[in-house]
Structure 1
Amino acid sequence: MSTGTAERADPADRGRLQISRSVLRKIAEHTADQDPGSARTRRRIGGLGIGEHGASAQISGPDDALRVRLDVALRYPAPVREAVAALRTRIGEELARLTHCQVRTVDVTVSALVAADAPPRVE
């Protein structure tokens, strides 16, 4: 049994890996949605409720300096600054852990505050 140079080569030298921005976006959104401070909100079009949605993210920049723009609803009452800081840290760490991409900035827009104990609304 012979071992070729390809078998002994460092895995990083065997080829390239490119991760789609849509995958990075989904990782950021999923991470934000799993955070205990975030909340899902009702989606409405023309006054009609059409379900719920969670965080929404946009990703730009190169892999070594990603910029994340996040739109999220937070649970109320909670300290907004602390919740946003926790989201920034969590998203940066998760993207680095899963993809080895480095996050430069995470800009967060808080689009809604949702009462933590609010009962679901019938529409």
Structure 2
Amino acid sequence: MAEDSNIILNSEDQSLGTIQIAPRVLEIIAGIAAGQIEGVSRMHGSIANSVSELLGRSDHRRGVKLSNSDDELSIDVDVYLEYGVSVPKVAAEIQDKIKQQVTLMTDLSVKEVNVHVQGVITEKEEQQVDPNDIFGEHENKDGEE
């Protein structure tokens, strides 16, 4: 889980004050960036994330953990990939995209992005169920009853 303290962004001109960013903001940035990679099926999250998603609330922090030490960020990302993709290639793209987006949006240094592949998701097969014969009791040969 992310630390509760805000991260102070360093800028050369601090005459107007300091800029602080909450760790959850960085987790959201990383979650959105990872979700945009082709081959990522979904992010891995907790039961609370799943319940929130069922209620219609999306949590872009799902599957992202942030660690901050000595002004260097470490980001852990838990993902499910689509079946048939190259795992090393997709994982490297996730690492590059997250590092790029966090650096671009916050000017913070990302030390490492660790990708944890939690599983592979296969395509769902469409099941043809006749609402008038849900148990398949009236089988026919030519599509007629």
TM bin, normalised by shorter chain, reads 0.7 to 0.9
Could you list the per-position Cα deviations for residues 53-104 of structure 1 after superposition, in whole angstroms to 9, with x for gaps in the alignment? 8751011114841000110111110110111001000000000011111110
Q: Do the aligned partners of 2:44 and 2:118 also contact (CA within 8 Å) in 1?
A: no
Check 1:12–1:42 CA distance in 2 against 1; reply closer, same or farther (3 A cut): closer
What is the alpha-carbon distance in structure 1 between the residues aligned to residue 74 and residue 45 of structure 2? 26
Q: 10, 22, 41: which one pairs with 2:24? A: 22
- SS of alignment partner, residue 14 of structure 1: coil
What is the alpha-carbon distance in structure 1 between the residues aligned to residue 40 and residue 30 of structure 2? 13
Larger Rg: 2
What is the alpha-carbon distance in structure 2 between the residues aligned to residue 120 and residue 59 of structure 1? 38
Q: Do the aligned partners of 2:44 and 2:78 also contact (CA within 8 Å) in 1?
A: no
Q: Return the offset for 1:15.
A: 1.3
Residue aligning to 1:6? none
Q: 87, 100, 105: which one pairs with 1:93? A: 100
What is the alpha-carbon distance in structure 1 between the residues aligned to residue 44 and residue 121 of structure 2? 10
What is the alpha-carbon distance in structure 1 between the residues aligned to residue 67 and residue 18 of structure 2? 20
Identity over aligned residues, as a percent? Answer: 26
Runs of 5+ in structure 1 lacking a partner? 1-9
RMSD: 3.1
TM-score, structure 2 as length reference:
0.62
Q: How does 1:1-123 map to 2 (within 5 A)?
A: 12-40=14-42, 51=54, 55-62=62-69, 64-115=71-122, 117-119=123-125
Count of residue pairs the alignment pairs up: 108
- SS of alignment partner, residue 20 of structure 2: coil
Q: Do the aligned partners of 1:41 and 1:53 also contact (CA within 8 Å) in 2?
A: no
Q: Do the aligned partners of 1:43 and 1:53 also contact (CA within 8 Å) in 2?
A: no
Structure that is richer in strand per residue = 1
More displaced stretch, 87-96 vs 62-71: 62-71
Structure that is richer in helix per residue = 1
